[in-house]
Structure 1
């Protein structure tokens, strides 16, 4: 409980007053958003190009990493524009979001990837919040059909990756929990319960096999295609097979909180709470609550941070707070927002790249996108802001 006590004390002076002081929390939201219009503008100014979705940027030479729609991160940029529109009410962001969203439609037939939720739901799903668009609905359902082709009944999971076939038979990564939202929504749109049932089966299999006794999670579980049982539990992006990759823990917390939203399954709620407890209580969680990329990196405190992991957890814990009314979750989310308010994390106005936050870490083992602005860090930051704002708007 030591780390939990430290967390409460560290956030008390900044955010605990928000629990009983609506004016304070609304003022916090306003003061933060006043720092962001310049960064938002950079996203709006980025030129349309169906082959150049901005994924990250190397600040030393201002080189933007641009990817096609098949990349797993492609949907986040359109999602960011949709969310900025929701935050600001500026129609220019909505119009730009619609243009970028259209570029992703062809992915609805791409059965070579499990990342359909990241690509399609972060773009078309966000668009559907603002437009009752039948095309958007049809694209989401078609994408769910495509994703379903990767499901293996013997194993009870959706296959994640197709590479490393000489090593893995049927790899499933914890990130794949995030793609279940697309399936749940496809059932709501179409009335076809098949998608919902498939998502539940995948969530149950992951619940059974991905978690350690301390409530942290493995990154990759590889299944035997004959027996359907786990044969390897390893990492692909963490420090080592038994370490706690921060973004993996974030996907788990978010994924099971989201799964509870659609199912009311108490085992999912308990899993989200237990993994959140592991994360929040970890002795290597920094005082500003922006995690190192892996909790077991021996280079800590000189290891890279991962803002994206922090924002994913922050967004998830706003929702988890709604179901539990546990102030610890809300305090963490608000403290992350407060930390990101500093110029240490927000990109300077002179940086022309279409990103908001610095210091995310993509793939440390491959030394790829280390300590850089990454598009999904911005996405879950914006989502956190919207979720916090929604809470405050409901407070009299």
Structure 2
């Protein structure tokens, strides 16, 4: 493990060379390199502050400057090592590789456990997935393949989707429940199918996306957080919420998961149905944004009061997704539209209103984890930081005329 003194010296060096951002307003002049450098300096501050590398930063409450840590196995545990892997990718500095590897190696044994929920994709792709594509370490590949097989065990062929929350079957009387977040975890199945895991994983991922597309969205293409299905004949019973304002509202992060998820499914399948759907779920999100491009935690929340919190995490997820989506659209005007919207979101997220800067060691302020339970409300959260950095890395690649995606 690197010594605290070493991390401190490197942090001082980064600050001394001017890694904090110089803001501009013109979209074409967005200073992506300096924003990535800002993330690098903030991550270094976190490395300096945490007691040891086996601590996984998760969130900071609004009035706190100290990280709350999470355990290996929580759905958010992969985001911190994912951030470290992105910083290694950008800098090629082995300091970041070593830090990322230590946390990833701590998470890796989880790949061999029985999947307890749909979250395997979040955990494994951010940590082992990024680690494998950057290092080729065979142990990471083996772990990803095992995790995909375990996730596939939650698939119900009668329904045509993966069971998201086994614990909610009895607790909420949701016989087979699928949350929109689950679209993100299909990436693990697609990856495994491409890397020796078997065609059945691809087929499960496709069927899940098709069934979700058919049942989990309203006529305006906004999504239900949870789709509940009958296990006897697989019919769709109802759409409800768990983290949104109401069953009929548009929970911001849920819609962001849908945008990202269907963009990724098109990437993996080249099925134009999914590209068309990704655009539709993006368009309803964009059409309802407030002026500053950062959604309220739920798009219907302003009906309650003007003081409802925003959700920077939804904006970061969406910005990253729209950058990728823009590269799949042949019409140049439409492609530019989505790319420009993503950059506008990144401009706002990179402003003093949303960057943590000297206030905290996190990248961003003002995200919402679980409003209904009062968890992580108006907080800094690891997945907001992860997708913010991912969006910046993707934008940098586009500006350099490279593929939006690194070697997947």
TM-score normalized with structure 2 length: 0.87
Q: Can you list the C-alpha shifts for 1:328-364, whole angstroms capped at 9, x where unaligned?
A: 111111111111222221113253x4x2111110001
| In structure 1, distance between residues paired with 2:300 and 2:43 | 34
1:361 corresponds to 2:385: no
Provide the residue aligned with 2:10 in structure 1: none
Task: Measure how far apart 1:30 and its partner are.
Answer: 2.9
What pairs up with 1:273-312 in 2 under 5 angstroms? 273-282=279-288, 285-297=289-301, 298-312=303-317
1:220 corresponds to 2:226: yes
SS of the residue 1:376 aligns to: helix
Q: Can you list the C-alpha shifts for 1:173-215, whole angstroms capped at 9, x where unaligned?
A: 0000000000000011115111111111111110111111011
| In structure 1, distance between residues paired with 2:63 and 2:161 | 41
CA contact (8 A) 2:35 2:392 kept: no
Provide the residue aligned with 1:314 in structure 2: 319
How many residue pairs end up in the alignment? 369
Provide the residue aligned with 1:128 in structure 2: 132
Provide the residue aligned with 1:77 in structure 2: 80
1:327 corresponds to 2:346: no
Q: RMSD of the TM alignment (CA)? A: 1.6
Task: Measure how far apart 1:291 and its partner are.
Answer: 1.0
CA contact (8 A) 1:305 1:360 kept: yes
Unpaired runs of 5+ in structure 2? 1-24, 403-408
Provide the residue aligned with 1:161 in structure 2: 165
Provide the residue aligned with 1:258 in structure 2: 264
Picking from 38, 43, 46, the partner of 2:46 is: 43
Q: Which runs of 4+ in 1 moved over 3 A?
A: 33-37, 47-50
Picking from 182, 192, 199, the partner of 2:205 is: 199
| In structure 1, distance between residues paired with 2:81 and 2:316 | 18
| In structure 2, distance between residues paired with 1:221 and 1:37 | 39
Provide the residue aligned with 1:336 in structure 2: 345
CA contact (8 A) 2:47 2:53 kept: no
SS of the residue 1:222 aligns to: strand
Q: Can you list the C-alpha shifts for 1:146-199, whole angstroms capped at 9, x where unaligned?
A: 001101111111100022314211110000000000000001111511111111
CA contact (8 A) 2:36 2:389 kept: no
Provide the residue aligned with 2:22 in structure 1: none
| In structure 2, distance between residues paired with 1:191 and 1:64 | 37
| In structure 2, distance between residues paired with 1:176 and 1:237 | 14
Provide the residue aligned with 1:190 in structure 2: 196
CA contact (8 A) 1:114 1:160 kept: yes
CA contact (8 A) 1:14 1:335 kept: no
TM-score normalized with structure 1 length: 0.90
Picking from 13, 23, 26, the partner of 1:14 is: 26
Task: Measure how far apart 1:128 and its partner are.
Answer: 1.4
Provide the residue aligned with 2:7 in structure 1: none
SS of the residue 1:293 aligns to: coil
SS of the residue 2:237 aligns to: strand
1:391 corresponds to 2:398: yes
Provide the residue aligned with 2:89 in structure 1: 86
Task: Measure how far apart 1:294 and its partner are.
Answer: 0.4
Picking from 111, 119, 122, the partner of 1:115 is: 119
Q: Can you list the C-alpha shifts for 1:59-112, whole angstroms capped at 9, x where unaligned?
A: 423343222112100011100110122223322111100000011112211321
Provide the residue aligned with 1:5 in structure 2: none
CA contact (8 A) 1:237 1:363 kept: yes
Q: Can you list the C-alpha shifts for 1:105-129, whole angstroms capped at 9, x where unaligned?
A: 1221132121000001110111112
Unpaired runs of 5+ in structure 1? 1-12, 19-23
| In structure 2, distance between residues paired with 1:219 and 1:99 | 34
| In structure 2, distance between residues paired with 1:300 and 1:85 | 43
**Higher mean C-alpha displacement, 32-41 vs 382-391:** 32-41
> Could you say which structure has the greater relative contact order, defined with CA pairs below 8 angstroms and 6 or more residues apart?
1
| In structure 1, distance between residues paired with 2:72 and 2:212 | 27
